Amino acid sequence: MSKDSQWIAGINAVASAIEHDADNVREVLLEAGAKNPRIVEIEGHARRLGIDVRRVAQQALDGVAGGLRHQGAVARYAAAKTWDEHELPALIEAAQGRALVLVLDGVQDPHNLGACLRSAAAAGVTAVVIPRDKAATVNATVRKTSAGAADRIPVIRATNLARCLRELQQLGMWIYGLAGDAEASLYALDLTGNVALVLGGEADGLRRLTREHCDRLAKIPMPGDTESLNVSVAAGVALFEAVRQRRAAAAG
């Protein structure tokens, strides 16, 4: 297989790729004899779009899926588009003062990254920034978990996250980091302008240098007895607080 393509597995992942980015689906393999209505639907949709479809034995699917749960459907997919840091200023400028950027400082679990990207797409973010090193990459697992979101929003891999945050500030962005030990509440922040929300990795949260480059730290108030939220849940809470504030500002 060419290094500029990869296999994605699972009915939802394959269906989403065909629906949202058919031009990048190279071929679809479906289990021979499978009568699942979703698989029949995928086959019909792919054929109508001129995508090569083959019915193959389950063992063949097991082989190309590489251990992923394929549910009788896999697709050879063009590698995820990579966005360069130098493209970030243009994306922010195009947002016309309402840029919303999600920065993930070292999220290492592909499922968490995929879930964060799904929330980011639903919230209409301008871009998601992830470090180039010591963090999950946008692989097949991430794309499946994101339900297609990984291919609909710009995901930028920053060589130096601290430098990237400085550049965001120079572009007029307010940088807000989420930290459980912060005194301020997320709900006390003004999230209506150019804003970057920064969340840390699963184990250690925000790294020291990342914290130092935030304009302010805030926490999600939790009246229950749980000390912290999963990073993808926290990302969803923070992003949709921004969405709520922006809608209220637009309506008022």
Question: Is residue 229 marked as binding?
Answer: yes
Cα–Cα distance, 2 to 190 (Å, whole number) = 46
Question: Is residue 189 marked as binding?
Answer: no
In degrees to the nearest 10, what's the CA dihedral of 226, 227, 229, 231?
-160
Nearest to 119 by CA among 145, 94, 93: 145
83-90: long-range contacts (C-beta < 8 A, 24 or more apart)? 83/127, 83/154, 83/155, 83/156, 83/157, 84/156, 85/156, 85/157, 85/158, 85/159, 85/164, 85/167, 87/154, 87/156, 88/127, 88/129, 88/156, 88/164, 88/167, 88/168, 88/171, 89/167, 89/171
Cα 238 to the chain's mean position, in Å? 15
In which order are the strands placed within the sheet that holds 195-200?
A: 155-158, 127-131, 100-105, 195-200, 174-178, 216-219, 184-185
Cα–Cα distance, 227 to 4 (Å, whole number) = 42
Cα–Cα distance, 99 to 167 (Å, whole number) = 14
Six-digit token pair at 246?
């922006």
> Amino acid letter at 56?
V
Question: Is residue 102 marked as binding?
Answer: no
Six-digit token pair at 41?
């639907």
Annotated binding site for S-adenosyl-L-methionine: 200, 220, 229
Annotated binding site: 200, 220, 229
